[in-house]
Amino acid sequence: MKKLAKALSLLLVVAMVLSLAACGGGNTVPNNSGNNNNVAPAEPKILKIATVKTINQAGFPSAAGTDQKVVATTVLESLGRYDDKGNIYGFLAKEIITKPEEPAIVLKLQEGVKFHDDTPFNAQAVCEVYDILKENGQAAQFANVESYSATGEYEVTIKLKAWTTDAVEKLCIGCGQMFSPTAFKKNGIDWMYTHMVGTGAFIQKEFTIGDKIVCEKNPNYWQPGLPVIDGITIYQFDDETAAMNALRTKDIRLIIYPNMQNYKTLLGEGFTRYGVDSCTGIAGVLGMFFASGKEGQDVTNLKVRQAICYAVNKEGLANAFTEGLGVVTEQLGVAGTRENNPAVKGYPYNPDKARELLKEAGFTADHPAEVTLTFTKAYEDIFTAVQRNLTDVGIKVNLDITDNIGDKITMNGADPYVSICWWSAPTMVSGWFRYYSANPFTMVRDCLDLKAAGVIDLYDKIMTAATPEEQKKLMDELAIKTVDELCLYCPFYHTLSYYIGDDTIINSDFGMRGNTQWTPETVDFK
């Protein structure tokens, strides 16, 4: 018995030694930053956030996706920001002066701002950031840029090849997120993916993929008095139930982007929704574009397209697939954004009208209109529902499940789309511009002659409009044309970004338009 005990303890000791050895420099790994804040004498106010998606890259070269944005905006700030209508205003560039006539953009930078590595933020730095981005996958954003240069310690002048209205967005927001170019030069691109060195209210202390991101208050933040809290830690949860339990036990305060069912559950338990903001450029519209790579398809008939739009029960889809969170929209510029045109009538659900239109177009039960829905596997449920809607009014529907919708749409692939593709789009038209750098409506290809219909012309005018007012007028016109007149697409609904948390961070404007210094003083961190 004694010998056995000895043998067992030996086993244990060996195993322990093994585990210690495996730690290696275990002590150099900071593992005490997140969980044991209780031991500190003056309890720091740390906001703990949970995410259920793997964040394995934030802020560099650009923050794509909700989670990444939340992470990036705590540390990095951009030259410009959206206001609550979607207009861009200067932030790190305190003034953005547009000169459509030259064409050029002049950025007057905020003075006295420093990166977290203590290097100064100035015109030189902005130019260097542009250089780096151009060489690392963002060249498309600079396609229209002739040159940029520091024209003063805090002034950058960007010369454009031709004036386009999306230039400001591309240069001040899309490529406007400022990181320390010195850090990049020192550490290289691989390091940059998980190391954000910005100017923001919080400094990144730890970024371990699959585990957590720890950010601490920046004591030298350029906006005095901010931030109000001492840090933000974002934990990655593999299991949403665990995250929900952590929220319930007040171990965390907020969950970014839970799945809709869990969101509803938590809402039912009295938790609060955060981040309802149509203007962050994050939310997306789900819908379908009428498009055809072949001539003579049934969707080339306007009446068929309109019939389809009437036949789709958008309300029903939103309820079924978003737990009621989706907001039905009739145009790409959703309500609450600058691009929205309230005059657009759209096609509210009306199957009778759809049938009528089909009849007028000469389709009968024996000779039905025929369309093909092309989509990826992930959207199978939704489009099966759409198929049912369409079949109800007598349209024959084929389903085409593809691996790469991008290739079909951008016509890179050898196999062009047949009738209708889906696409989830940014809410703002400007987002379209940024994404494609080309007129999105060209997707319709053989459906109709866009040039003759005046869409090309109108789009080009929007792109080169000198003032925002003029642009707005033209966009309203485009909305009426593409929806009510030509019926080029059929949007279903849009879901805004939604976070759920407890009421201790209420009124904090969390997630709104890249607020990193948010949180009111009333936050209860007990």
Partner 1 sequence: MGRFLLKRFFQTILILIIISILAFSLIHIIPGDPVYAMLGTDISPEYHDQVYHSMGLDLPLVKQYFRWVGNFVQGQMGYSYHFKEDVSTLVARRLPPTLILGILSAVVSVILGLLFGIITAVRRGKPIDSVLTVLANIGIATPIFWLAVLLVFVFSLRLKLLPSWGFTFPWVDFGRSMKQMVMPVLCMSVGGIASYTRQTRSSMLEVIGQDYIRTARSKGLKESQIIKKHAVKNALIPILTLIGLTLRNSIGGSAIIERAFNISGMGSVMVEALSARDYVALQSGIVFLALITCVCNLLVDIAYAYADPRIRLE
**Binding flag, residue 412, partner 1 (CB under 8 A):** no
CA 428, CA 65: separation in Å to the nearest integer? 15
| 19 belongs to the binding site for partner 1 (CB under 8 A) | yes
CA distance 80 to 147: 19
Strand order in the sheet with 327-328: 327-328, 489-495, 284-290, 420-426, 370-376, 396-402
Residue 54 touches partner 1, criterion: CB under 8 A: yes
Comparison of 212 and 338: residue with beta carbon closer to partner 1: 212
Q: DSSP code of 174?
A: I
* Among the listed residues 147, 151, 223, 245, the single contact to partner 1 using CB under 8 A: 245
**Binding to partner 1 (CB under 8 A): which residues in 436-455?**
none
Q: How far is the CB of 354 from partner 1 (least distance, A)?
A: 39
Q: Would you say 382 or 409 has its CB closer to partner 1?
A: 409
Token pair in block for residue 265: 């559950």
Among 85, 161, 186, 248, binds partner 1 (CB under 8 A): 248
Among 106, 127, 140, 209, binds partner 1 (CB under 8 A): 209
**Residue 31 near partner 1 by CB under 8 A:** yes
Task: Return the residue of 106, 140, 246, 361 that touches partner 1, per CB under 8 A.
Answer: 246
Element (H, E) at 112: none
Q: Which is nearer to partner 1, 19 or 391 (by Cβ)?
A: 19
How near is the Cβ of 128 to partner 1 at its closest, in Å?
21
CA gap 397, 370 in Å, rounded: 6
Please state the closest distance from residue 56 (CB atom) to partner 1, in A: 6
Decide if 313 contacts 389 (C-beta within 8 A): yes
Residues in contact with partner 1, shown as a per-residue x/- string from 216 to 235 under the rule CB under 8 A:
-------------------x
Q: Is residue 497 within 8 Å of 277, Cβ to Cβ?
A: yes
**Angle, CA 114 vertex, CA 112 and CA 120 arms, to 5°:** 85
237 is an interface residue for partner 1 by CB under 8 A: yes
- 411 part of the interface to partner 1, by CB under 8 A: no
What is the rounded CA–CA span in Å between residue 428 and residue 433?
A: 9
Please state whether beta strands 499-501 and 272-274 pair in parallel, antiparallel, or not at all (unpaired): antiparallel
In angstroms, give the least distance from the CB of 80 to partner 1: 26
Q: Report the 10 Å Cβ neighbour count for 460.
A: 13
Site string for partner 1, 155-194 (x = CB under 8 A): -----------------------------------x--xx
43 near 36, Cβ under 8 Å? no
Q: Which is nearer to partner 1, 60 or 321 (CB)?
A: 60
Q: How far is CA 44 from CA 35, 213, 220, 246, 387, in A?
A: 12, 17, 17, 19, 55
Binding site for partner 1 (CB under 8 A): 1, 3-4, 7-8, 10-12, 14-16, 18-19, 22-26, 29, 31-32, 34-36, 38-39, 54, 56-57, 137, 190, 193-194, 208-212, 235-239, 241-243, 245-246, 248-249, 251
